Every structure is written in structure tokens, then in C-alpha cells.
Structure 1
Amino acid sequence: MSEPRAAPLRLLVVEDERELGRVFADFLRQVGHEVEVVETAEAALERMGAELPHAILLDVNLPGMSGLDFMALPAVRDSGVPIIVVSGYVTEAQARECLRLGAVEFLAKPVPLDVLATVLDYVAVLSDPATPGPMLHERRRASRLPVTLPLRVKTESGVVAAGAVTEVSATGLLARLDHGLTPGTPVRLSVSLPDGGAPVDVLALVVRSDGERMSAFWFLDVTPAETTRLLERAQAQAPR
């Protein structure tokens, strides 16, 4: 397995719950990142005007401008700064809208801090902290393609779930399973492809799981060849 290379990032946390903002800031500083916390989207825009962060942790339900409205602003989208949405009290449709607007990932509150650290490690791997924004532009806009593929999931404790992949990107996948999984759980994914080759076998992290048994996974050790196979299959299934 290839390990992520953690690199210090300059992070902007947009969180109106002051105590939670402090929790995020304390934890992220402990793992080596530089952190600034603001409580509104308007304040985040002001900070971005002064200096672009390497990544933004964004709540959706903010006073004044919402997180969704913030993400839709041309100045934010054109900046190329990756956004990780961390929020509670949102629907699956809102989570999908966050991803459509270019969020790297959506993490439901309460956010397991180890999951957040892992996501940021992978953001750091794909960025040069000396060059914020554009270096991560392609990652931020990674396409999530609809697809239907058989999936088998196994946890380290031996629990097995089965279902189907419904969306895939270069960074992870969304699947409907026969039972839910706990966010933060490392799992082994086995995706069957109809190309005659071996299943795509990938170590991943559960980053979201809802009451309708939809689970989102972040790839941890996917190879370029495996990514190509998954995306080519999704493109082949796309309507012409």
C-alpha cells in the first residue's frame, strides 16, 4: 500500500459553532497544519482576498451567506482551492450539491478527526504548499461518473457488506449497500468489472454513511491502472 505524504497546509476553517471551530483548529495544528478560523462565509471571502489557503473546511449552515452559496461564487470556484464540507443536518441531495459544486469531499458531523486528517493528507499529497489553488484544481473538479457495478466490502473485523457502486471518481466511490458502515472505518473494496479482468481490489476509508445505506468511500491505495479501469467502465455505461 502506498502511504500518504502528509505536508503542512494552510487551512481556512469556516465554522459558526465557536467551540467546534476551536476543536478543529486545535486538532489540525497538532497534526502540523496552519489554521485560521472564521465564522461566516463573508469573512472567508475577505481572508481569501488577502491570501489563498491551501484548503478550506466549510460548514454548510452558516449565518448570512450559506456554504452552498459560497461554493457557487465564481471567485471561489475559479480560485481552485479545494473545499472539504464538514456539516450536520443536511440531506443527501445537499451533500450531492456540495460535490457538484466542486467539493473534494463531504463529511457529516460529528466528523471523526482521524478521517479528516486522512482526507487532508491526500490533499497534501497532490499539492505543492508553496503554490496554493491551481495545483489542486483538477482534484477539486474530479468527475463523479454514474455507474452500476457489483461491490463487496470487507472490514478489518471481518464484517462483509454487498451492494453496487452508483458513482465513481478518481478519488473514491459512492455505493448502495445491504447495510450501513461506520464512518472512519478502513475497508477493502472489491469491484467486479465486466472486462474479463480481476476485480479492482482497493483499500479505502468510509467517509460517509447515511440511513438509506448509501456509503461514500475515499480510496487509499488505488493504482493508476485501477483508476483507469473504473473510469473507463463508467464512461462506457454513460448514455450516448
Structure 2
Amino acid sequence: MESFPLLQQLLWISLLCSADFYVSGQNCRGREPVIDPPALVVKYGSPATATCRTEYNTTRMSWEATMGASSKENTQQLVWSVDSVTDWSLKDGILWLAIYEYEPCTTHLPITIYKIPENVDLVIHNAGPLVEEHTYWLECEVKSVAPVNNLTVIWFRGDSKLEQSDFTQFNIEGDGDQNVTVRANLSIIASREDNRASYSCAAQLDLENTTDTTSNIV
């Protein structure tokens, strides 16, 4: 059997940050409003704003939200705005309500709140010289990230992709709908090819189905 030095630790993160949605109205009887933008993808702590417009006069218009709630009478437009998105309940979206001649019309604005990880760490259990044909566990820890359902951990050996882990395989610490710490594991069997090899893990937030990726060394 042969011993090898510890694996080099390289940490990567990539973020894909756009999304397309549509907005539909309820009980609006052909008087559906236009919300601009039709959905929000907001970084935690950043400002957010949306404007709802209608061609019809309303008795009253309001935004129903835990932050930035507002209302106005006899108007065709109302802005929702917050200086800093810090309430995770906004991830469920907010409600726009208008009264047309005493008939209510409601529309939902989808909101996705994301948080870039504070840190990404790669560790090897049973640290020490690696012994050929022995099994070792790598652990990728992604600290303070959201939303976890959109997170993928990708494993590399050198420049070659080995496999990836999604939220169904994570050990999650915290509320899965808010910012959490995630741990993903990979088992390897040491071989001669691992001599001077490097392993890395990439934490990717995918907020859109796209093939474009950008990776930066952390």
C-alpha cells in the first residue's frame, strides 16, 4: 500500500440569479392589473420595489405585506418599496388588492429571497496521509445560504466533475426556507491517481434554468 499527502482544498461558488414568472389576478373580471416587475428575485438585505398599475379607477388600492405595506384611495397606481429585505416571510410573496366599485381584485407578486453563502469549507475526515484502497469522506460545508431548494453542491477532482448533491441529500442546520448551513458528503477510495490530486466543491444557487455558469475561487 502507498500513502499520499492530504488532498488540496479548492473551494468554488457560482450564482445564477434571474427568473421569469407571470402574474394572474383573482376576481378582477377582465380588469387585471400590470405589476412591474411581474416577480422579484432579491438578495437578502437589498432594497426591493414593484409598481402595480391598472387602467381602471379604483376606490382603494393596497399592498398587503409584512414590510412596506401601503394603501391609497382613488388611484390607478401604487408602489411597494422597502429599503432592505430582511423579513424572510416575504419569500411567500405579497398581495396586491384593489376595490373596483366595491368589488375586490387581488394579485400575488412572487418573491424569491436569496443569500450568498458566508463561507464554503471543504474538509476530509480521518485526516492524515491517504492510504491506497482506503475509503475517506469529504465534507463540503456551505454556511448561511438560501434558498436551500435551489442549492446544488458540485464535486470535482481537478477539473473533472465527479457528481453533484442536491437538497434531498444535504444535512441541513436551520430553517430550510430561510438561511441555513448545509453539509454535503462524498466518499472516495484513495488510489495512485490521487497522488498530488486536488478535490473541490462548488456551491451553486440556481435561480433560473440556464446553462450559463460563473465560478470564482473563494
TM-score by length of 1: 0.21
Pick the structure with more strand per residue: 2
Q: Identify which of structures 1 and 2 has the higher relative contact order when contacts are C-alpha pairs closer than 8 Å and 6+ apart.
A: 2
TM-score by length of 2: 0.23
Pick the structure with more helix per residue: 1
